[in-house]
Amino acid sequence: MLKLIFEFVLAIFLHPLAWVLCVINIVTRTDLTGFKKFLWIVITFFWGVGPILYVLLGDGAFW
């Protein structure tokens, strides 16, 4: 739970760092197709909301 709260704070206040961590996680995932990877990278680009959506809906993580 503490990790999730820390990820939210990171996504809101340090979005560029959160975005880079999301992109690294997205690219290394083997369960996503190329289109889904591209789509998640675009979604995580939106400030504050994108990385949070990725963590909650995309079964993703920052690390």
What local confidence, expressed as pLDDT, does residue 34 receive?
Answer: 93
What local confidence, expressed as pLDDT, does residue 62 receive?
Answer: 61
Per-residue pLDDT of the chain (63 residues; tens, 9 = 90+): 787 788 778 777 887 888 888 889 899 999 989 999 999 889 888 877 888 788 777 776 666
pTM: 0.74
Own/partner contacts of 4-9, CB < 8 Å, gap of 24 or more, are 4/55, 7/51, 7/52, 7/55, 7/61, 7/62, 8/52, 8/55
